[in-house]
Amino acid sequence: MSSLTLAMGFCFGKPRAMCCLCLSCRALGKYINRGMVIYICFFKGATEDIIPKMVNTLLNMKLCETESGKYTSVLQLPGSVLIVPQATLGGKPKGKGMQYHGNIGKDEGLKLYNSFVSHCQSELSACKNSDTVTEVRHGTYGNRQVLKLDTNGPYTHLMEF
């Protein structure tokens, strides 16, 4: 099964993240097993100050279902994380098309994206509590992302920070 979500709206300065739980995922040759896919978009006015809050919220939210049916965080599962830069989350409908004028500039966005990835890597490596292989994989900022996703639902959440 796959999950496709279209998120529309505009929120000046607030980064937007969409997370989806997966059984497995492959993007541009980067593969993760069970874990979380985070699609991320930064808007104009976003600063690095928000990154720790974003990472803490996304990685500690109890969204992952255990075999017993209870929910836990991706850190406690333990699971892997795939981060996908997704500028289209910043789209605003205009007529029959979409505009992305509210998105952050490419250079600023790259800095924030790299910081977000680095914070996720630090959190995941600090939380290793089993022999399960967990890792943070990520797409290349500014490039087209080709993604194959196997999920156990559609189970996607949109979060603004």
The answer to whether the predicted template modeling score (pTM) of the entire model surpasses 0.95 is no
Asked if residue 5 belongs to a domain, the reply is: no
φ, ψ of residue 109 in degrees (nearest 5): -60, -40
Asked if residue 6 belongs to a domain, the reply is: no
136 dihedral zone (left: phi>0; alpha: psi -120 to 50; beta)? beta
C-alpha distances (whole Å) from 47 to each of 53, 85, 127 are 12, 16, 26
Angle at the Cα of 85 from the Cα atoms of 4 and 19, rounded to 5 degrees: 50
CATH number at residue 108: 3.50.80.10
Asked if residue 4 belongs to a domain, the reply is: no
Q: Which domain holds residue 149?
A: 16-160
**Residue 1 pLDDT level (bands cut at 50, 70, 90):** very low
Asked if residue 61 belongs to a domain, the reply is: yes
The total number of structural domains in the chain stands at 1
| Model confidence at 10: pLDDT above 70 | no
Asked if residue 156 belongs to a domain, the reply is: yes
Asked if residue 77 belongs to a domain, the reply is: yes
Asked if residue 2 belongs to a domain, the reply is: no
Q: What is the pLDDT of residues 67-116, one digit of tens each?
A: 888 888 989 888 889 898 998 888 889 999 999 999 999 999 999 999 99
Structure tokens at 126: 């600090």
Q: Are 22 and 151 in contact (CB under 8 A)?
A: yes
Asked if residue 7 belongs to a domain, the reply is: no
Structure tokens at 132: 């399960």
